[in-house]
A and B are shown apart, each in its own frame.
Chain A
Amino acid sequence: GQSLEQPSEVTAVEGAIVQINCTYQTSGFYGLSWYQQHDGGAPTFLSYNALDGLEETGRFSSFLSRSDSYGYLLLQELQMKDSASYFCAVRDSGGATNKLIFGTGTLLAVQP
């Protein structure tokens, strides 16, 4: 079957660094995405890795290792507003019928 695993909850303090891991098992792989969702809000796109390595966007970075079927989202200089759910998602096919398979999400709680 197809599955993505990520921790259900992570707690960290303001100013710290936190890493949210994602391991996947899918029939195909065309890239790994990360989305943020605040309570009551819509998911918003954070990053997309199609190739191995680290992608940095401000305080957020995302890493992919295709050989290990593994990726992570790294959040630095944590702020209270980073408290949210974070979802990894695999694009499992290409062409016109592309779609995403989402993980079950990691709830990040940032404490003062």
Chain B
Amino acid sequence: DVKVTQSSRYLVKRTGEKVFLECVQDMDHENMFWYRQDPGLGLRLIYFSYDVKMKEKGDIPEGYSVSREKKERFSLILESASTNQTSMYLCASLGNGGPSYEQYFGPGTRLTVT
């Protein structure tokens, strides 16, 4: 079974702190994604990566950066956390070549910025 893990289920940080959210997948997938999920807004793509050291901006990249130094790990960085970044953050991975384009999601990190 594909497993996508995220470093924390719940996180509380203060405004202005630098925050790191880690995601690890064990299926040797090329593609990894970071989403945030807010009520009524669905899942919005922040950044994605289709290879090691490669990254692409999603729909809402402002205030975030990412790092992909190893294939299995994709980190989301909040450079200076703000209260409007309080949200559920979901990581996903996807292998190339599959017919169904199935993304596998981690359990999510609920981040609260106070």
A35 to chain B, nearest CB (A): 8
Complex CA–CA separation, A89 to B45 (angstroms)? 12
Q: Mark B92-114, 1 if CB is under 8 A from A, else 0.
A: 10101001111111111000000
Is A87's CB under 8 angstroms from B42's CB?
yes
Which A positions have Cβ atoms within 8 angstroms of B? Answer: 8, 30-31, 33, 35, 41-45, 47-48, 87, 89, 91, 96-105
A91 contact set on B, CB distance < 8 A: 101
Closest 6 CB pairs of A and B: A104-B42, A42-B105, A102-B43, A45-B102, A48-B100, A102-B42
9 residue pairs A–B, Cβ–Cβ below 8 Å: A42-B90, A42-B106, A43-B103, A45-B100, A87-B43, A97-B48, A98-B31, A101-B45, A104-B41
Which B positions have Cβ atoms within 8 angstroms of A? Answer: 4, 31, 33, 35, 40-45, 48, 50-51, 56, 58-59, 90, 92, 94, 96, 99-108
Is A48's CB under 8 angstroms from B101's CB?
yes
Complex CA–CA separation, A97 to B106 (angstroms)? 21
Complex CA–CA separation, A45 to B95 (angstroms)? 14
Is B43's CB under 8 angstroms from A43's CB?
yes
A100 contact set on B, CB distance < 8 A: 45, 101, 103
A47 contact set on B, CB distance < 8 A: 100
Complex CA–CA separation, A106 to B41 (angstroms)? 11
B96 contact set on A, CB distance < 8 A: 96
Most chain B beta-carbon contacts within 10 A, residue among A30, A31, A43, A87: A43
Is A45's CB under 8 angstroms from B31's CB?
no
Is A48's CB under 8 angstroms from B42's CB?
no
- Among candidates A8, A48, A96, residue contacting B50 with C-beta atoms closer than 8 Å: A96
